[in-house]
A and B are shown apart, each in its own frame.
Chain A
Amino acid sequence: MSAILLLVLGLGGMALGYFLYSRFIAKVIYKVDENFRTPANEFEDGVDFVPTNKFVLWGHHFTSVAGAAPIVGPAIAVIWGWLPAFLWVTIGTIFFAGVHDFGAIWASVRNKAKSIGTLTGEVVGTRARSIFTIVIFLVLLMVNAVFGVVIARLLINNPGSVVPVWGAIAVALVIGQLIYRGKMSLPLVSLVGVVALYFLIYIGPSVPVSLPEQVGGLSDNAAWILILFGYAAIASLLPVWVLLQPRDYINGLQLFVGLIALYAAVLIGNPTVVAPMINQDVPAGTPSMIPLLFVTIACGAISGFHGLVASGTTSKQLRREPDARFVGYFGATGEGALALAAIIAATAGFASLADWQAVYTSFGQGGVLAFVNGGATILSQGTGLDAEVAGTMLTVMAALFAGTTMDTGLRLQRYIFQEWGEIYNVKWMSKAAPATLLSVGTCLLLAFGAGGADGSGGLLIWPLFGTSNQLLAGLTLLVVTVMLVRRGTPTIYTVVPLIFLLVMTLYALLIQLKGFYTKGDWFLLTLDLVVLVAAILVSLECIASLRRLKQERQQSGAS
């Protein structure tokens, strides 16, 4: 099986989805209106509400939602064979993610650009909003703890990437100063920044950095996790223009370059997919494909996190309502393209089936390392780049993504603590520094509490991230569906994904609950129960609010 075929089928399907299906959704279901005055125009204040060019907004939306998840999820999920992961990423992007992201922007734009949390309270009910806050906090906690582990492992397995990963921070600090203080031309600074970053990637393998196996009685993995959280805490307290802004910018440029390079390498090198189409011989301990496939691949197909970005910042900057199709649906397509690259790298980047099986020895083992190793082989075969440099390039790409998501996540978690401090009148908690310490503390508690001295507790809860994230997506789809029912437009296109998501999430949670009980893992069992209760409540809210609406419509029809 040629990887080019996979690439063409996947991208072709997504392109058809964008050009045909999204147009249909825009016209018939959401009925986007050229003349509708968007909140960006209505409340333009130069601060939050600013009408923005659709291509720029797409770039912002896409790079904000693209974290390490579209790479980690699919690269783990190919353990069941390439076909299930490929089908879910392609079909999920076209019929689920696109409709969800587009819908989240549309719903928010039609409601004064309110965030999906506030909208849930208004459209569905206050109970649903309370569930929403708990689920968001859990998702953030998991993202931060998981990404700490993912980056630590990447740095240990690829010592050549340590210099470029940390060097990227220095590059960002310098370009931030050049732009703000030096007032230098942006295209020039961008060029200098990208060249500096790739120079670091080039020299990285010749100056490998590894921590000693024991650092003050801790393993190197644990030490890296502590260093990373220390960094994220500082980064989340610094003014945005000093580090975060230039770092995200250079990261976005790197994503475009990396993705184009990987796809070009597949087209030139034409690698063969060595992984089985459907893996009959999965390693012992691998959970059942249904429902775990759908919660393992979160951001590659449908993800609730996208709804938070779509309704949080994107909707406040939408210039024209029809732009929501390009920004939302095509943003999801970009994410799908990244997930497709991860699938190709993790299945076609190995010399033989035996090599592939040697990596996928147990569930959760392949992951981002398979993406880096496989992708590096494809890159070096396709473009003639040195294999080690190609490996460093992909490691830096994955680590930078996880890094930026981690420090944004920590910042958001800090806001939640500060908000709680203000609501419950706890003065010290509403200040930035103690709230940051609390956020880092809870993440470390999860990393070291569930994972022991190794600090890898984050990875253990990865499947729980999938379920809570899908729940968020379910809530967003519920809000959109309720709005559609009120407008009297067909709801089947959002109800089917909604039901599918809720059924798979509940099913996955129950299976995991049984697993944690058998293992006697009380910590994860408790977390699982929290998410399970939230999922059941969301399902009940769905039924109740849709039934209420139906009655209202019948009554108004009768009178």
Chain B
Amino acid sequence: MKDTLTRLKYWYQRASAAGAEYYNAPYRAAIARAKRDEDDLFMLLVFGEMMGIPNPASWYTLELQPLLLERFHDWHKRMGMERSPLDNMRCC
């Protein structure tokens, strides 16, 4: 019985892996590229901030707030802060 269960679990994992590959294969490149673009933008922002270069995007950042809010919330929770640490950025 235990053997059967282990085997079933193994086959389920195999099916899951094959399914994920089938799901992703046609769009793998587009998604990887989008992620890379996002990382590049992040790099630009962080690097600019560290070097004291005025951020050209900051004027428009408020427009991104609805998109970023959820991720910001997840971030401060992960960092162990119950509430948002920024006074002017309240998400919860």
What is the CA–CA distance of A108 and B32 in the complex, to the nearest angstrom? Answer: 22
Question: Which of B19-27, B41-49, B83-91 makes up part of the contact surface?
Answer: B19-27
**Residue in A46, A187, A246, A316 whose CB lies within 8 Å of B16:** A187
**Residue in A48, A53, A186, A239 whose CB lies within 8 Å of B23:** A186
- Which B residues touch A239, using CB under 8 A? 34
B7, CB-defined interface residue at 8 Å: no
Does A50 contact B16, Cβ atoms closer than 8 Å?
Answer: no
**Residue in B19, B26, B32 whose CB lies within 8 Å of A60:** B26
* Residue among B15, B18, B20, B21 with max Cβ neighbours from chain A (10 Å): B21
- Which B residues touch A57, using CB under 8 A? 25
A357, CB-defined interface residue at 8 Å: no
Does B19 contact A187, Cβ atoms closer than 8 Å?
Answer: yes
**Residue in A46, A56, A246, A249 whose CB lies within 8 Å of B32:** A46
Does B25 contact A56, Cβ atoms closer than 8 Å?
Answer: yes
What is the CA–CA distance of A190 and B15 in the complex, to the nearest angstrom? Answer: 11
Q: What 0/1 readout, one digit per residue, does chain A (33-58) give for beta carbons within 8 Å of chain B?
A: 00000000000001110101101110
When C-beta atoms are compared, the residue in chain B nearest to A179 turns out to be: B23
- Which A residues touch B18, using CB under 8 A? 53, 55-56
What is the minimal beta-carbon distance from B12 to any residue of chain A, in angstroms? 7
What is the minimal beta-carbon distance from B90 to any residue of chain A, in angstroms? 23
What is the CA–CA distance of A15 and B33 in the complex, to the nearest angstrom? Answer: 39
Does B16 contact A185, Cβ atoms closer than 8 Å?
Answer: yes
Does B21 contact A53, Cβ atoms closer than 8 Å?
Answer: yes
- Which A residues from 238 to 278 make CB contacts under 8 A with B? 239-241, 244-246, 248-249, 252
What is the CA–CA distance of A380 and B27 in the complex, to the nearest angstrom? Answer: 36
What is the minimal beta-carbon distance from A15 to any residue of chain B, in angstroms? 23
Instruction: Decide: A52 near B27, CB < 8 A? Known: A46-B32, A47-B36.
Output: no
What is the CA–CA distance of A63 and B37 in the complex, to the nearest angstrom? Answer: 28
Does A59 contact B22, Cβ atoms closer than 8 Å?
Answer: yes
Inter-chain CB contacts under 8 Å: number: 59
What is the CA–CA distance of A450 and B23 in the complex, to the nearest angstrom? Answer: 38
When C-beta atoms are compared, the residue in chain B nearest to A46 turns out to be: B32
Does B21 contact A52, Cβ atoms closer than 8 Å?
Answer: yes
Instruction: Decide: A47 near B28, CB < 8 A? Known: A53-B18, A55-B18, A56-B18.
Output: yes
B68, CB-defined interface residue at 8 Å: no
Does B12 contact A240, Cβ atoms closer than 8 Å?
Answer: no
Instruction: Decide: A187 near B21, CB < 8 A? Known: A47-B36, A240-B31.
Output: no
- Which A residues touch B34, using CB under 8 A? 239-240
Q: What 0/1 readout, one digit per residue, does chain B (41-77) give for beta carbons within 8 Å of chain A?
A: 0000000000000000000000000000000000000
Does B22 contact A56, Cβ atoms closer than 8 Å?
Answer: yes
- Which A residues from 67 to 91 make CB contacts under 8 A with B? none
B79, CB-defined interface residue at 8 Å: no
What is the CA–CA distance of A183 and B63 in the complex, to the nearest angstrom? Answer: 28
A313, CB-defined interface residue at 8 Å: yes
The interface size bin for chain B is 20 to 34
- Which B residues touch A246, using CB under 8 A? 23
B81, CB-defined interface residue at 8 Å: no
- Which A residues touch B26, using CB under 8 A? 60, 64, 245, 248, 313
When C-beta atoms are compared, the residue in chain A nearest to B15 turns out to be: A187
B29, CB-defined interface residue at 8 Å: yes
B30, CB-defined interface residue at 8 Å: yes
When C-beta atoms are compared, the residue in chain A nearest to B19 turns out to be: A186
A317, CB-defined interface residue at 8 Å: yes
Does B31 contact A60, Cβ atoms closer than 8 Å?
Answer: no
What is the minimal beta-carbon distance from B50 to any residue of chain A, in angstroms? 27
When C-beta atoms are compared, the residue in chain B nearest to A181 turns out to be: B70
Instruction: Decide: A48 near B29, CB < 8 A? Known: A245-B23, A249-B23.
Output: yes
Does B28 contact A241, Cβ atoms closer than 8 Å?
Answer: no
What is the minimal beta-carbon distance from A9 to any residue of chain B, in angstroms? 31
- Which A residues touch B21, using CB under 8 A? 52-53, 56
- Which A residues touch B23, using CB under 8 A? 179, 186, 245-246, 249
Instruction: Decide: A60 near B16, CB < 8 A? Known: A46-B32, A47-B29.
Output: no
What is the minimal beta-carbon distance from B22 to any residue of chain A, in angstroms? 5
- Which B residues touch A249, using CB under 8 A? 22-23
Instruction: Decide: A186 near B20, CB < 8 A? Known: A50-B28, A245-B26.
Output: yes
What is the minimal beta-carbon distance from A244 to any residue of chain B, in angstroms? 7
Instruction: Decide: A241 near B19, CB < 8 A? Known: A52-B25, A248-B26.
Output: no
- Which B residues touch A64, using CB under 8 A? 26
Known: A245-B23, A248-B26, A316-B29. 12 other contacts (CB 8 A): A47-B33, A50-B28, A53-B21, A56-B25, A186-B16, A187-B16, A240-B27, A241-B27, A244-B27, A245-B31, A249-B23, A313-B26
Give 28 A-B contacts (CB < 8 Å), ordered by A residue.
Answer: A48-B29, A52-B25, A53-B21, A56-B18, A57-B25, A60-B22, A60-B26, A64-B26, A185-B16, A186-B19, A186-B20, A187-B15, A187-B19, A190-B19, A239-B34, A240-B27, A240-B31, A241-B31, A245-B23, A245-B24, A245-B26, A245-B31, A248-B26, A248-B27, A249-B22, A252-B22, A313-B29, A316-B29
The 9 closest A-B pairs by CB, nearest first: A47-B32, A60-B25, A186-B19, A56-B21, A245-B27, A48-B29, A240-B27, A240-B30, A56-B22
